[in-house]
């Protein structure tokens, strides 16, 4: 299955009906929005805390309450992170690095990751004109302030790749078509609906 992600600005409030990794994409999209994104009923587990801490470290504005979290734009800067076999975070951090306003992101521990995923992400970032370089075999540098042109990328049936490039599309000049999204809809059944309810533009294409 393939999807088209048209550049969009997510904002507003939403009551979550499920808690899964796809909700962190909505939080990250909020960091690109002046009006911000508020998620209610988010289970603030280790993943949620890790992402909110990361976004705050990068410069996003974050407010939390008893039953909600709001993330909104300030200005996103690059970061440093060591990945320990966390393939889903690799795709997400690459996406965040790509949409940063300034600076660069340094991702270490690349050798601990699925190398086919690493190669595919880097290859497709290059297609949409995101600047990357290896500092050594175990460290990837991704530059911010990219002029993301849009185009067609191939997730190769990795749903985390698809989530990451949907986030990147928020700051693209043209739509990003993501081919072969794998079991995205089965694993994250509410993602497209939630993304679009907040003003996003994801549609299923042939």
Q: What is the per-residue DSSP string for 120-143?
A: HHHHHHHHTT--EEEEETTEEEEE
Q: Is the pLDDT of residue 172 over 90?
A: yes
Q: Which residues of 5-25 are buried (b: 16+ CB within 10 A; e: fewer)?
A: bbbbbbbeebebeebebbbbb
Confidence band of 63 (pLDDT split at 50, 70, 90): very high
- Highest mean pLDDT: which range of 49-53, 61-65, 195-199: 195-199
Q: What's the pLDDT band for 201 if we cut at 50, 70, 90?
A: very high
Split at pLDDT 50, 70, 90, the class of 47 is: confident
Residue 40 pLDDT: 94
Mean pLDDT of the residues in the chain: 95
How large is the average pLDDT for residues 44-51? 80
Domains and CATH numbers, the chain: 7-199 (3.65.10.10)
The residues pairing with 38 across neighbouring beta strands, listed in sequence order, are 13, 70
Is residue 45 predicted with pLDDT exceeding 80?
A: no
Q: What is the pLDDT of residue 196?
A: 98
Report the C-alpha gap between 50 and 67 in whole angstroms. 18
pLDDT digits (tens, 9 = 90+) for 187-196: 999 999 999 9
Closest CA to 101 of 164, 59, 141, 56: 59
- Per-range mean pLDDT, top range of 42-56, 59-73, 119-133: 119-133
43 has pLDDT over 90: no
Question: What is the model's pLDDT at position 42?
Answer: 85
Q: 44 pLDDT exceeds 80?
A: no
**Could you tell me if 205 and 6 are in contact, meaning their C-beta atoms sit under 8 angstroms apart?**
no
Mean of pLDDT values over 79-108: 95
- 47 or 83: whose pLDDT is higher? 83
pLDDT of residue 206: 82
């Amino acid at each position: 299955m393939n999807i088209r992600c048209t550049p969009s600005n997510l904002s507003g409030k939403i009551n979550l009906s499920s808690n899964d990794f796809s909700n962190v994409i909505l939080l990250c999209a909020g960091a690109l929005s002046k009006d911000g994104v508020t998620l209610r009923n988010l289970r603030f587990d280790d993943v949620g805390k890790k992402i909110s801490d990361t976004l705050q470290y990068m410069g996003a504005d974050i407010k939390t309450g008893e039953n909600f979290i709001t993330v909104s734009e300030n200005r996103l800067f690059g970061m440093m992170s060591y990945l320990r076999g966390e393939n889903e975070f690799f795709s997400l951090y690459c996406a965040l690095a790509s949409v940063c306003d300034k600076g660069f992101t340094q991702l270490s521990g690349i050798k601990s990751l699925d190398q086919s995923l690493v190669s595919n992400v880097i290859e497709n970032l290059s297609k949409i004109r995101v600047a990357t370089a290896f500092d050594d075999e175990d460290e990837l540098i991704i530059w911010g302030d990219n002029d993301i042109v849009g185009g067609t990328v191939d997730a190769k049936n990795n749903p985390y790749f698809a989530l990451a490039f949907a986030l990147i599309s928020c700051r693209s000049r043209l739509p990003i078509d993501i081919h072969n999204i794998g079991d995205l809809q089965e694993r994250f059944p509410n993602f497209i609906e939630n993304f679009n309810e907040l003003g996003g533009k994801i549609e299923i294409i042939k």
